[in-house]
Structure 1
């Protein structure tokens, strides 16, 4: 096809007319938030671009001799802003997903071609298979989370496809290393595609300026192997996962409100304590245990044939339809049970203290002995070990630190740092009267 225009732009009317012709070949859109989008004909989606990208596209489709002149390219950009704004693409419905070049309504089964008329960003690149058989993936799921949790994990994969956050849930994958968490995330990433997810830690995404910008027009945000401190600020987190508008700011751009649909998946060796004790926080959290450890290190995903990913797309369409209708994940617990599980996993030392210690004002226990027994218990219960500093910080919130005297096997007395007012359950200890508080 020939160039849209050759020669010099000499007047505004000439410019406006030519830019209308350009938009027929290079669909562009300039939105209310002053962001530019260009239609990608190869991937059947809109993508973010800047003004330089726009001018390059115009230069490729025209032979405007004076396009490099500042006044001319400024007028071109202004003309395109006005013309493209008039051609605002339609948003997808909250039951529509995109698979390659097709937009599929999972509720009705209706299909239509993806085109610049629709504001679509997130095509799944796999074909829809002819069956739902995924034997290799099934086997991996059972190894990772057990048969009882397999459906829930498939539902979570299916939910990523939807550019809406209609079910306000976050999945937290919990367990020590080498247990399949990272491989599951790799599986999720491979299915939805590299352009449909972003990655970042909790504090960066939900606690810092520009952090929420990585969520923009993404299906998933993956937070791998997070070991972070107390969760103290959950306002943005709850808005982002609850269907509410969040502030988004790109560098050198203004702030605007955005309704996020990137589903949050957190992989953690241990859960951080939360200062937010509200029902709305615990309701969002679905904790999935990865209890097994695997010694083999090989390319697990390489063992999955491509046809299984196509069949996974077929399976996910059915699961997503059911999920939207039911509004809840398989075997999901009520809020009280979610709260109980979260608190036990985020404060395992509290469970150890409750199980192993009794309060008694006439007794004290050695800090050294406490640290040794606590870490042995944590390891036996599949929790990570804590440093002496971490244990001391936690214990100081409940008990007083002091010096205590102990009698050695040889009858000699020794003094060491102790926790006051506690003793080991079932243990009768005769304490020396010498004590320095």
Structure 2
């Protein structure tokens, strides 16, 4: 007689619906579905027991008190998911290959399988399923036994415990990251209504023509990525959201992006390719009334959605100006870009020869209404610098990928190379400047890289012609980028109401050879350098308000005089003197090309950023003069001849006497020494002569015999410089 199962009565006491299975098998000997809805009668059980049935099935689900059996086959999974903790709390059976963990939940659930690499790894046996009961025999002959250490009772849990176990399983296989990425990618790949409907109809089946599925799950599958050398399936297709993501190369998109990428097509061509491959059309058709020819039809809304998927656009709420993303920065000619795209798309889909004004204007309006942002978002990230090969993070030193999300309207035309140097630029700066002035210049150029007026400073480069000022201005312009700079004189800025609008979004205003015109109204200059809110307008455009971040850099032979004698004006200036001349053999006509190679500019960026960090850490420029010192320096540099005469008269070095005279060459040489000693610009000899007459109107000109030679002289003054001082100055300067 066959041995009966000793656990049958225990299952009955637990209220579990049971039925007999085939001997040493998992299959029922009868139709078991009715026992999902009723318990077997005592007579049925007695009959089955008397027939000596050893193998029994335990029905899961509501009929057995919302019984759920966690069915796991792998020992490793049992340990890694900490299921052994449950085995200590509730009845658990050791199966042929794994475990059955019995528990009851507070609400009924359907059976669920967790599949990895095409195989069921973990099952929640619930409504609609059964398990082989304890005491039965596995087909291998091994008995289903009570797991040592587990109680002979079935504990009740919240159904959320199963969700927790599923999360553990997903973490075990890194599927939690796949699920998380699914949500992000879905949001990133959502398009307009018409395109979403097209994607829904097409689905993701077309991708299987290019990528073979290696692993399938509920609503996504994985294969080897076609976009990089992939050996472990990392290319993930989310069929329920019509999107894909590669965990290896981080590329992502939808079916349109995929076809664009793998077939090297633009957006419109990719849609056409999908139409050809699937037979599903995106563009509807209409018949031409004149020719009877059937042509593709497109609405302005669909046209706008296509354009929005080809390029990024934003619209400034205050002026309704449209900007478009060129891959490195936001550009202001967005409306022109849309017009160009409208014509191209309509021609490519074969609707008509040209885009009508009506559909173009409707498309522009649609894009504007979809893309409004506030102006303050532009260039608001003050510690990141957009470069050709990425976004440089000033705080961490990292190079981040370029992204429209930073809202930069400029890009420095330089590639970041942490190992680059700029020996030619360094040598050039040593030739044109006093060595102690180089650090403050580098700090100011670095200051131009951050969109803020934190230090309330402007820069004036001073010196007569052929001394490197214009070359330095050109170097800075090429470094920052011509499109990121403007060139407006200080006088024009202060007097032309439209001029200030040209500063918006620029890094620097670089103006060479500032005219020698007196500055009468300097309020706007102080507002610009102070970063105060300005109201600006462009011709035939609405006015707008902005906080200026454009740095002001001017060069001049002589600092312009000013009627503003306030501290607020003078403390804003950094004045740098250019003491040397480069003429004849000393002049290199190709110097600019030599110092603006890509390698030199990359090295210059490293040098400038180093000095910018010092500036930000210290909170002030290296040249930290008092306001009174700056005032005196400015006044002297605005009229160096007057400063020379007044100083020398006060010191008794120039003596006014109607009968006295001094050689013009001797006086000019003394003037040069004076200027170099206190870093003043040196005007040429003719300018010096004209200025001297305006300062000393009583002097005249004459010729005198000096040292046996006839020399041109100034009459009415004499020069008295001690011999020992004259000698020391000659040694110092010459």
Deviation at 1:269, TM superposition (A): 0.6
Conserved in 1, the CA contact under 8 Å of 2:641 and 2:688?
A: no
Q: Quickly say closer, same or farther: Cα 1:68–1:279, change in 2 above 3 A.
A: same
Structure 2 residue corresponding to 1:40, chosen from 299, 315, 326: 326
Q: Check 1:87–1:275 CA distance in 2 against 1; reply closer, same or farther (3 A cut).
A: closer
Instruction: Name the structure 1 match of 2:54.
Output: none
Instruction: Work out whether residues 469 and 578 of structure 2, in 8 Å CA contact, stay in contact via their aligned partners in 1.
Output: yes
Deviation at 1:52, TM superposition (A): 3.6
Matched, 1:125 2:413: yes
**Contact 1:357 1:425 (8 Å CA) reproduced:** no
1:340 shift after superposition? 1.1
* Structure 1 counterpart of 2:368: 81
Measured in 2, the distance between the counterparts of 1:321 and 1:109 equals 11
SS of the residue corresponding to residue 225 of structure 1 reads coil
SS at match of 1:171: strand
Q: CA deviation at 1:53?
A: 3.4
Counterpart mapping for 1:36-435 below 5 A? 36-41=322-327, 44-49=328-333, 51-62=335-346, 63=349, 65=352, 68-85=355-372, 91-131=379-419, 133-295=421-583, 296-298=586-588, 299-304=590-595, 306-355=598-647, 376=668, 381=675, 382-383=682-683, 385-386=686-687
CA displacement, residues 273-320 of structure 1 (integer Å, 9 cap, x when unaligned): 111111121111000111111223321133335423212222223322
Given that 1:357 and 1:423 are in contact with CA atoms closer than 8 Å, whether structure 2 keeps it comes out as no
Shift of 1:321: 2.3
SS class of match (1:213)? helix
Inter-CA distance 243–202: structure 2 relative to 1 (3 Å threshold): same
Structure 1 range deviating more: 246-255 or 175-184? 246-255
CA distance in 1, matches of 2:627, 2:420: 32
Q: TM-score by structure 2 length?
A: 0.48
Structure 1 pair 250–342 and aligned structure 2 pair: CA distance change class (3 A): same
Q: How far did 1:357 drift?
A: 5.2
Report Cα offsets for 1:39-61 as digits up to 9, x if no partner: 113xx111111634321123324
Cα shift at 1:65: 4.1
SS in 2 for 1:241: helix
Tell me, what secondary structure is at the counterpart of 1:212?
helix
Higher Cα Rg: structure 1 or 2?
2
1:80-120 superposed Cα distances (whole Å, 9 cap, x missing partner): 11012169866442212111142222123354322222211
Query: Residues 50 and 39 (structure 1 numbering): CA distance in 2 closer, same or farther, change over 3 Å?
Result: closer
CA contact (8 A) 2:320 2:368 kept: no
Give the Cα separation in 2 of the matches to 1:2 and 1:348.
64
- Contact 1:173-1:268 within 8 A present in 2 as well: yes
Could you tell me how far apart the structure 2 residues matched to 1:323 and 1:164 are?
A: 13
| Partner-residue secondary structure (3-state), 2:428 | helix
Provide the C-alpha distance between the structure 2 equivalents of 1:322 and 1:119, rounded to a whole number of angstroms: 26
The offset of 1:218, in angstroms, is 1.3
| Closer, same or farther: CA 152–66 of 1 in aligned 2, 3 Å | same
2:406 match: secondary structure: coil
1:16 aligns with 2:316: no
Greater relative contact order (Cα < 8 A, sep 6+): 1
- Label 1:113 to 1:306 Cα distance change in 2 as closer, same or farther (>3 A): closer
Give structure 2 stretches of 5+ with no counterpart. Answer: 1-265, 272-281, 287-297, 651-655, 676-681, 699-715, 721-734
The 3 A distance-change label for structure 1 pair 7 and 330 is farther
1:28 corresponds to: 313
What is the number of equivalent residue pairs in this alignment? 399
Which range is displaced more, 343-352 or 13-22?
Answer: 13-22
Residue of structure 1 equivalent to 2:92:
none
Give, in whole Å, the separation in 1 of the partners of 2:420 and 2:579. Answer: 27
Separation of aligned partners in 1, 2:444 and 2:495: 25
C-alpha distance in structure 1 between counterparts of 2:302 and 2:533, whole Å: 38
Alpha-carbon RMSD = 3.8
User: What is the rounded CA distance, in whole Å, between the counterparts of 1:271 and 1:35 in structure 2?
Assistant: 38
Whether the aligned pair in 2 keeps the contact of 1:283 and 1:335 (CA below 8 Å) is yes
Structure 1 distance, partners of 2:633, 2:688, is 23
Q: Is the 8 A contact 2:518 2:563 kept in 1?
A: yes
Q: 1:301 to 1:79 in 2, by over 3 A?
A: same
Structure 1-normalised TM-score?
A: 0.78
Per-residue deviation, residues 5-40 of structure 1 (Å, max 9, x unmatched): 75799xxx9543542342121212220223221111
Distance 1:352 1:145, change over 3 A: closer
CA contact (8 A) 1:199 1:223 kept: yes
Q: Note the C-alpha offset of 1:271.
A: 0.7
Structure 2 CA distance for aligned equivalents of residues 294 and 425 of structure 1: 29
Residue 282 of structure 1 contacts residue 335 of structure 1 at CA under 8 Å; is this kept in 2? yes
Separation (CA, whole Å) in 2 of partners of 1:268 and 1:286: 13
